[in-house]
């Protein structure tokens, strides 16, 4: 597995990480713990060193799973987690209906970190993200609190998730930001306008989540696809039958390039991200070893300038249908 550094921070991780959310949260019921532990071990064996979780995933059970499964490999892996939500006992398991409110007050961050350290069975969090920007707390106070935690040896690196360019600048001025995690893929290109140039200027890495469009870019879905009742894609405008049908043009493009490269659409989607910048590290999630291996195979797929130009020309003619989140959740991004 190739390695990459997240910006100028010096934090080196595998070129592809593993998003662990779907093992416990959002994509149907939590998966079998033994099977997910085996999957996490399989990822380490195949060279993955970067694992992504959050206290809200479950809530809490994903951190516990990741902590327990990766305990034998602690010295060779980088674990990222997130704070920023108020987690009450009546939280909907999908984390969407009656979604938890934001809370990035300094005392809450400190409490969240203590909980994450315990569940992850670690002494220091490698990369700690603010999950969503909380407009009721100045980002300087958030960055200052994480700076304090870094000084105490409880956190190594500071990250933001779904933050806008100005917020990134303000946070970075207080405590250098190692990475921004945001949705970025061939069907979600919002970061290209302002965020990616800002990251390049400041030397901050980008960690795209949902790099396979929550499964859509694998080419395994169409307008007839249905999801488990507890799958949060049921509430996403981009996953209505009409939107799935309209967005097939993107899959047709990926399939065409994949055929030329003797690869799969998912591998092309990931290879495209890897080709964008050397400091981009996608974190596709999966619950299956064969998909893990397919995703890792993307690292070996080389897209030439001509390939990238062909993709750019084709995608410029495709308008993706459907918002990526319902309005309430969309409002939490890019601020």
- Give the tokens for residue 107: 């005392």
Q: What is the pLDDT of residues 285-309, one digit of tens each?
A: 999 999 999 999 999 999 999 999 9
Catalytic residue status for 57: yes
Question: Using 50, 70 and 90 to split pLDDT, how confident is the model at 88?
Answer: low
- Inform me whether the pLDDT recorded for 95 exceeds 50: no
Mean pLDDT for the stretch of residues 48-64 = 97
Residue with token string 């309430």: 328
- Inform me whether the pLDDT recorded for 91 exceeds 90: no
Find the catalytic residue in 57, 129, 184, 209: 57
Q: What is the pLDDT, as a whole number, of residue 18? A: 98
Question: Using 50, 70 and 90 to split pLDDT, how confident is the model at 13?
Answer: very high
- Inform me whether the pLDDT recorded for 177 exceeds 80: yes
Residues 232, 215 contacting (CB under 8 angstroms): no
Question: Using 50, 70 and 90 to split pLDDT, how confident is the model at 100?
Answer: confident
Return d(Cα 1, Cα 132) in angstroms, integer: 31
pTM recorded for the entire structure: 0.96
Residue with token string 């958030």: 142
- Give the tokens for residue 266: 């998912």
Which is higher by pLDDT, 233 or 97?
Answer: 233
* Average pLDDT taken over every residue of the chain: 95
Residue 102 has what DSSP assignment? B
Question: Domains of the chain, with CATH numbers?
Answer: 3-216+273-301 (3.20.20.100)
Return d(Cα 315, Cα 249) in angstroms, integer: 9
Mean pLDDT for the stretch of residues 67-71 = 98
Q: What is the pLDDT of residues 146-168, one digit of tens each?
A: 999 999 999 999 999 999 999 99
Phi-psi region of 120 (alpha: psi -120 to 50; beta: other; left: phi over 0): alpha
The set of residues, in sequence order, having a beta carbon less than 8 Å from that of 328 and lying 6+ positions away, is 99
Burial 309-333 (b: 16+ CB within 10 A, else e): ebbeebbeebebbeebbeeebeebb
Q: What is the pLDDT, as a whole number, of residue 98? A: 53
Q: What is the pLDDT, as a whole number, of residue 93? A: 46
Mean pLDDT for the stretch of residues 121-129 = 98
Q: What is the pLDDT, as a whole number, of residue 89? A: 54
Residue 218 has what DSSP assignment? G
Q: What is the pLDDT, as a whole number, of residue 96? A: 44
- Inform me whether the pLDDT recorded for 174 exceeds 50: yes
- Inform me whether the pLDDT recorded for 110 exceeds 50: yes
Q: What is the pLDDT, as a whole number, of residue 90? A: 53
């Amino acid at each position: 597995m190739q390695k990459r550094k997240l910006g100028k921070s010096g934090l080196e991780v595998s070129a592809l990480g593993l998003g662990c959310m779907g093992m416990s949260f959002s994509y149907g019921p939590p998966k079998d713990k033994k099977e997910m532990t085996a999957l996490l071990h399989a990822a380490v064996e195949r060279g993955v060193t970067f694992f992504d979780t959050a206290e809200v995933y479950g809530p809490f059970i994903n951190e516990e799973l990741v902590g327990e499964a990766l305990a034998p490999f602690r010295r060779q892996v980088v674990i990222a987690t997130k704070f920023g939500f108020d987690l009450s006992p009546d939280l909907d398991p999908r984390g969407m209906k009656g979604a938890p409110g934001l809370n990035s007050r300094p005392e809450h961050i400190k409490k969240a970190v203590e909980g994450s350290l315990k569940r992850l069975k670690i002494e220091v969090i490698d990369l700690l993200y603010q999950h969503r920007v909380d407009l009721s707390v100045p980002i300087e106070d958030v960055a200052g609190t994480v700076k304090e935690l870094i000084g105490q040896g409880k956190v190594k690196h500071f990250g933001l998730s779904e933050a806008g360019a100005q917020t990134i600048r303000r946070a970075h001025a207080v405590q250098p930001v190692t990475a921004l995690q945001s949705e970025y893929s061939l069907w979600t290109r919002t970061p290209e306008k302002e965020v990616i140039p800002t990251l390049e200027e400041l030397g901050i890495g980008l960690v795209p989540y949902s790099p396979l469009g929550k499964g859509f870019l694998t080419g395994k879905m169409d307008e007839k696809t249905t999801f488990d009742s507890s799958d949060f894609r049921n509430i996403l405008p981009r996953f209505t039958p009409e939107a799935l049908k309209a967005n097939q043009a993107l899959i047709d493009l990926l399939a065409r390039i994949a055929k030329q490269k003797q690869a799969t659409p998912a591998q092309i989607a990931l290879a495209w991200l890897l080709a964008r910048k050397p400091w981009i590290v996608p974190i596709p999630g999966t619950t299956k070893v064969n998909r893990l291996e397919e995703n890792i195979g993307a690292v070996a797929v080389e897209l030439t300038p001509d390939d990238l130009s062909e993709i750019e020309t084709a995608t410029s003619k495709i308008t993706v249908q459907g918002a990526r989140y319902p309005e309430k959740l969309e409002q939490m991004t890019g601020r």
